[in-house]
Amino acid sequence: MKELRKIMLVEDDDNIRAIATRTLEKLGGFKVTACPSGRDALNQISADTPQLIIMDVMMPELSGIETLQKLKLREDTKDIPVIFSTARVQPSQVEEYKKMDVIGVISKPFDPMALGDLVKSIWLDYTTQSKSSSPKEPAKKNSEAIASLFQAYANSFPEKLTNILDDWDKLHDKEITPQDWHRLHFNVHQLGGSSGSFGFSEESILLRKLENIIEPFRKSPAPPSAFKTIDEITTELKIKLDKRIAKKNAFL
């Protein structure tokens, strides 16, 4: 099989899509087509003809699993290998993904700087080829561009986390609908998935805990004990946020 050159990245989170595309291209040496949804990927893939698809599992409208199923039904895409990216990496879940004929699973949050090498490793395992070359050192301008993405995310992170905390404060005092839980879960899922990749590891761990607690309440009522647990996690997140803001202001 030919050397891996063309990748399609399917990721609904703008920040993860931007940093993954940049590092895959500049550090990994790949040509990347980035799609914000499964539907966009299905519409674009015939013209793009990637050798590999890296796809988020949890996306609105069409999930990664649903998109994969549609790809397998099409003659022009059924043989394109797929890597899933997801925070759901329990052994049982990984086995389920492999039964769907994916060639690998990338755990979120991932280290953007190591993403290219990880993809190459999965690809080489899949093709049973030996390494032919070592990764090249990135040019200075590429490193600066990647650093600017990290800085932009760091600047936007406090506002995104504040929005989630404010949303929970407002929901706390009303009758929460399944739609409310779904919105909160989606926002927590997105920030939890991206924050760890951009250096906010402690917040990412807490957001993942919060996501797992909230998830069942999109379909069934939340018990009173859940509110207490959510309050405890959001309070801890608020403390960490205040510390980060205070630290940043100290340098201004």
**123 and 32 housed in the same domain:** yes
**161 and 234 housed in the same domain:** yes
**166 and 234 housed in the same domain:** yes
> Which residue's structure tokens are 């069409």?
62
Range of the domain at 51: 6-127
**123 and 18 housed in the same domain:** yes
pLDDT of the residue at 252: 56
**What is the number of structural domains in the chain?**
2
pLDDT of the residue at 135: 44
> Which residue's structure tokens are 């290998």?
81
Q: Is residue 136 part of a domain?
A: no
Alpha helices in the chain (DSSP H): 14-26, 38-48, 64-73, 91-99, 115-127, 140-172, 178-195, 201-214, 224-250
Q: What is the CATH classification number for the domain harbouring 212?
A: 1.20.120
> Which residue's structure tokens are 């004929």?
101
Cβ neighbours, 10 Å, residue 228: 9
**229 and 181 housed in the same domain:** yes
Which pTM was predicted? 0.68
pLDDT of the residue at 133: 42
**108 and 216 housed in the same domain:** no
Q: Pick from 127, 161, 187: which residue ends a domain?
A: 127
pLDDT of the residue at 132: 44
pLDDT of the residue at 60: 83
pLDDT of the chain, 252 residues: tens digit per residue: 578 999 999 999 999 999 999 999 999 999 999 999 999 999 999 998 999 999 999 888 889 999 999 999 999 999 999 999 988 667 777 778 888 889 999 988 889 999 999 999 999 999 874 344 444 444 455 566 677 778 888 889 999 999 999 999 999 878 899 999 999 999 999 898 888 888 888 999 999 999 999 999 988 888 989 999 999 999 999 999 998 888 877 755
